[in-house]
Structure 1
Amino acid sequence: MIVIGLTGWGDHDPLYPPGTAAKDKLKVYARHFALVEMDSAFYAVQPPDRMARYAEETPQGFGFVVKAYQGITGHLRGKPYYENDDDMYGAFRDSLTPLREAGKLTAALFQYPPWFDCTKENVRLLRETKKRMEDFPCALEFRHQSWFVPEMRERTLAFMRDEGWIHSVCDEPQAGVGSIPTVPEATRADWTLVRLHGRNAGGWNQNGNADWRAVRYLYDYNESELAEWAAIVRGLAESNRSVGVVFNNNSGGHAAGNAKQLMRLLGQPVYELPVAREPEQLDLFNF
């Protein structure tokens, strides 16, 4: 099974009829896609009652990829919200529990920063994190090339298999040490995650511009590039029960259109908003 979705559900205007309230967008989004990545969890651990509401608002078969809180993955800059790691991980687990109990937690996504390189200390940290998240499906994504240089690639994949990590396969610009190559390998038989970040090489790394993050994911995949990914995803699906694909190229509003293009290439049905019909002129002489 291959399921396709987007990062977030609030910012994809073409998906919603005019005037759709923010509180109704998740329900409408779920008509278009069966998977979503919850990026808001990266900035703040979401309350369990809110997660329970999200589970209730979505149909059976819908799945959430929940991005791990920034304090867990080492992104946090500033005063920690939690007093210790036990409280932080405990809060994150509590947040995920309603989705897991509803059968809608695809994975907790642990995306580590570009400075998280392949060292013994970081391997130890990953083992500790996986142990703390026991019984929750966890996906792992790197942003430092050292994990997938030729001499480390197979060792990294073997480590992920041994520890039970879901591999987050990436498409992103090759823009130095802070980016990784596409490694289309499954590390578990039940799930593989694919995240398509676009190929904006010029905007990928910090460049001093104030709007750097706003344009980092500015990219529109063309038909040929999406056809390549359709073949890769089909290949992954041959050895996996499920493959989830998330489009993260949101900066220019291209994610939803690209996702639907890929669905068509894979022969999947695509939901489109009904087209409003022009009112018919009343003919007074035809009753």
Structure 2
Amino acid sequence: MIYVGLTGWGDHPDVYSPGSKKTEKLIDYSSHFPIVELDSSFYAVQPERNIRKWINETPEGFQFVVKAYQGMTGHQRGENPFDSRDEMFEAFRLSIRPLKEAGKLAMVLLQFPPWFDCQRDNVEQIREIVGRLQEFDLAIEFRHQSWYAPELKEKTIEFLRENNLIHSVCDEPQAGDGSIPLVPISTREDKVLFRLHGRNVHGWLNPGNAKKWREVRYLYDYNKKELEEISEAVASLKKSTDNVYVIFNNNSGGHAAGDAKQFQEMNELEFQGLNEKQLDLFEGEF
């Protein structure tokens, strides 16, 4: 099965029903897509009440890709609100466990920072994190090119396979060490993650004002030819994997929803069991 979704549900106006409230955005979103990447969990470990609300607002087969908390993957800026590493991981496990119990947790995404390069200490750090989160399906996303250097690429893939980790395949600007190539290889037979960050090379290298970093970095609209390339990569992954989770993260200019819908149509994908739509806002647009 090929699943298609977006990063978050709070910033995609094209999928909201007319007059819907801010608190109803996930309900509207899940009438269009069967999966979503939960990125608020990266900025703060979410309280159980939020998780249970989101479970109740989505249909039975809906799936969440949960982005791991920033303090767990080395992104932490500012003071960590937890007294210890043990406390931090325990809080995260308790937070997302209801999703797993409800059958709505596709995987936890461990995205490592651009300076997290391929060296022994970092490999051991991954092992330590995996040990703490072993009850969940885990996806690994690298952002330093060294993991895919010619002499290390096969070892990286084998490491993921040996540890039963899901490979997060990425389409992103090719802009030096802080970006990775498109490597459409799955390391598990049941699941693979494919995240699309756009191809804005200039924005990737020169984000400008830190407060507007995401606005610049992920500002991109895929054209038809590029979506055909993505479709070929997804088809390749599907040959060796039961389920391919495709997440569009190019939403700085609001393009993610439209690109995801176009990709869906190009690949003749239809999703059953979604929330009912009040109005098909995309009908006839593509």
TM-score class normalised by the smaller sequence: over 0.9
Q: Give the 3-state SS of the residue equivalent to 2:107 in structure 1.
A: strand
The reply to whether residue 4 of structure 1 matches residue 11 of structure 2 is no
Letter in 2 for 1:90: E
1:220 matched residue in structure 2? 221
1:33 matched residue in structure 2? 33
1:170 matched residue in structure 2? 170
- Aligned match of 1:273 in 269, 275, 279? 279
The reply to whether residue 136 of structure 1 matches residue 142 of structure 2 is no
> How many Å separate the matches in 1 of 2:123 and 2:278?
45
1:205 matched residue in structure 2? 205
1:177-217 deviation per Cα after TM superposition (whole angstroms, max 9, x unaligned): 00000110001111000000000000013554353332110
> How many Å separate the matches in 2 of 1:49 and 1:81?
19
Q: Give the 3-state SS of the residue equivalent to 2:31 in structure 1.
A: helix
Q: Give the 3-state SS of the residue equivalent to 1:123 in structure 2.
A: helix
The reply to whether residue 233 of structure 1 matches residue 234 of structure 2 is yes
Deviation, structure 1 residue 77: 1.4
1:139-178 deviation per Cα after TM superposition (whole angstroms, max 9, x unaligned): 1001100100110000000000111110000000001100
Deviation, structure 1 residue 244: 0.3
Whether contact under 8 Å (2:17, 2:278) holds in the other structure is: no
Whether contact under 8 Å (2:207, 2:217) holds in the other structure is: no
Q: Give the 3-state SS of the residue equivalent to 2:187 in structure 1.
A: coil
1:82 matched residue in structure 2? 82
Percentage of matched positions with identical amino acids: 55
Letter in 1 for 2:261: K
> How many Å separate the matches in 2 of 1:85 and 1:166?
24
> How many Å separate the matches in 2 of 1:73 and 1:95?
17
Whether contact under 8 Å (1:48, 1:97) holds in the other structure is: no
1:278 matched residue in structure 2? none
Q: Give the 3-state SS of the residue equivalent to 2:27 in structure 1.
A: helix
Deviation, structure 1 residue 19: 2.1
Letter in 1 for 2:279: L
> How many Å separate the matches in 1 of 2:117 and 2:255?
31
In the superposition, the TM-score normalised over structure 2's length comes to 0.93
1:93 matched residue in structure 2? 93
Whether contact under 8 Å (1:16, 1:273) holds in the other structure is: no
Deviation, structure 1 residue 266: 1.0
Gaps of 5+ in 2: 272-276, 282-286
Deviation, structure 1 residue 49: 2.3
Aligned residues between the structures: 275
Whether contact under 8 Å (2:207, 2:216) holds in the other structure is: no
> How many Å separate the matches in 1 of 2:145 and 2:34?
31
Q: Let me know the Cα RMSD of the aligned residues.
A: 1.4
2:52 matched residue in structure 1? 52
Letter in 2 for 1:240: T
Q: Give the 3-state SS of the residue equivalent to 1:31 in structure 2.
A: coil
1:155 matched residue in structure 2? 155
Whether contact under 8 Å (1:43, 1:69) holds in the other structure is: yes
Deviation, structure 1 residue 120: 0.4
> How many Å separate the matches in 2 of 1:206 and 1:76?
21
Letter in 2 for 1:42: F
1:105-143 deviation per Cα after TM superposition (whole angstroms, max 9, x unaligned): 011100000000001000000001111001201110011
Structure 1, 46-55 or 161-170: larger mean CA deviation: 46-55
Whether contact under 8 Å (2:110, 2:140) holds in the other structure is: yes
In the superposition, the TM-score normalised over structure 1's length comes to 0.93
Letter in 1 for 2:151: E
1:117 matched residue in structure 2? 117
2:263 matched residue in structure 1? 262
